Structure 1
């Protein structure tokens, strides 16, 4: 049976969703990312997902464009059209979406409420774990049928 997003979120043991607001400066957002050891933060307008800001956004929309990190707000550099998934989605579909869209982070939204964020690392680790379980099952099945 395929692993669902909700299982990954449970295993991540989320204490909080790392976020900033649309008026947060680039330098402040980068400090938040460094503090939590993440490569992206959600940009939240109250409880509404306004966008996502990643290290890649900083490089491509900030530095390269000559924007100042101390004075540039999230609204100028964030990705506004965010691809999201819900907690019932399977991890293979998440991987396909990430691959097709060239993204590394997926906010998880249930009934309009952000409940977590998945990184490409989370998905890859879950897929590896799932494959190990399949291999163990097959090895046990083969061992059992040969011994029996």
Structure 2
């Protein structure tokens, strides 16, 4: 199964936040959309309207835990990683994406095809897929042993 197969079943709306928005604004978006992650976009002359990171509920908790109420006034850009954005393609196999998430200790990945953001896939999406989760075929039962 591929990432695109899951995206075809999901809501096509992609929730985003600009990196110059506050943590409080991002937290409200998370609540209002009933989601746990937002794609962070940078809107500037040199880069254009591009995905630069992910902002999650964990980032809200970290901001408040480290800075108290003042953390809510911080910019989203202060909390996202400045390293290269980890992403996947809609043609990637779920096995590969699951391993990528595991290796980078992340639960949400932006899906980018031809330099265009086409969706977000989460570990929850993968685990609920027919390949891995709710629709997966049960493993063969081990043989039963009789003890005499």
Aligned length: 130
Alignment match of 2:93 (pick from 90, 93, 103)? 90
Provide, for residues 14-44 of structure 1, a one-character-per-residue CA deviation record: whole Å limited to 9, x for no partner. Answer: 1x11001011100000000001111110111
What TM-score, normalized to structure 2? 0.80
The answer to whether the 8 Å contact 1:4/1:87 transfers is yes
The 1:89–1:130 alpha-carbon spacing in structure 2 relative to 1, beyond 3 Å, is farther
1:10 corresponding residue in structure 2: 8
Q: For residue 97 of structure 1, report the CA deviation from its aligned partner.
A: 0.9
Segments of structure 1 that go 5 or more residues without pairing to the other structure are 139-148
CA distance in 1, matches of 2:81, 2:32: 21
1:64 corresponding residue in structure 2: 65
What TM-score, normalized to structure 1? 0.80
Q: For residue 66 of structure 1, report the CA deviation from its aligned partner.
A: 0.8
SS in structure 1 opposite 2:32? helix
In the TM superposition, structure 1's runs of 4+ consecutive aligned residues that sit over 3 Å from their partners are none
**Alignment RMSD:** 1.8
The answer to whether the 8 Å contact 2:64/2:72 transfers is no
